[in-house]
Amino acid sequence: MLVLSCDGTGIVMRPEALRAGTRAAAAAYAQKLAPRLSRGEKANRKRMAEVGRVYDCAPVPRTPDDILRTAGAPAVPPPAPKAQGKWGTASVVDDAATVVAQLFDKAERRDPSHHRPWVALVDGNNHPLDLITREERRRQVTVPILVDVVHGLEYVWKAVWSFYAEGDAAAEAWVHAKARAVLHG
């Protein structure tokens, strides 16, 4: 299996090094508190480092119980897949579209006749999903997209506070049930 993985990592930048749109947003932004950001405020001082990797690995099937432990589940999970032939790229200069195209270029060089399954692993942001879909159409390939469960769980945790007061212990059970439902498809 050939895995194409992409995500972004925010890096605090000097104002003059920000891209034009982020620099303008930072200049127009008025922080609520002088010494620090309040909850929910974004700094407009970061540039995303677009990060991508291509590697080979044999699939290791897992069950929802392997991923989210429940009472009585086996104590030792199955072995994690081992990435081989890792290649990576990262840039604060190139945009995400360029990095995703580089991932597909590398995958094409490794498997020009598309004999192996290709899988894209993402963090759940819509932008990389759109870019991968665009590259799929452009190259006339089909690449199943997997959303990293850790990032996916963050969305479930954000949703729970619409139903429970922050800190309510029942929220944990709700998140666990919804996460299991997602893992079951």
pLDDT reading at 64 higher than 70 = yes
pLDDT reading at 43 higher than 80 = no
Count of Cβ atoms closer than 10 Å to residue 172 Cβ: 12
Given this model, what pLDDT does residue 59 score? 87
Residue with tokens 């799929």: 136
Given this model, what pLDDT does residue 106 score? 95
Mean pLDDT of 86-91: 90
Given this model, what pLDDT does residue 8 score? 62
Q: Residue 13 corresponds to which tokens in the numbers above?
A: 């930048």
Mean pLDDT of 101-121: 93
**Binning pLDDT at 50, 70 and 90, where does residue 29 land?**
low
Given this model, what pLDDT does residue 54 score? 93
Given this model, what pLDDT does residue 174 score? 94
Q: Pairing between strand 145-147 and 118-122?
A: parallel
- This prediction has a pTM of 0.70
Q: Which residue has the higher pLDDT, 7 or 62?
A: 62
- Residue 55, judged by CB atoms within 10 A of its CB (0-12, 13-18, 19+), counts as buried
**Binning pLDDT at 50, 70 and 90, where does residue 39 land?**
low
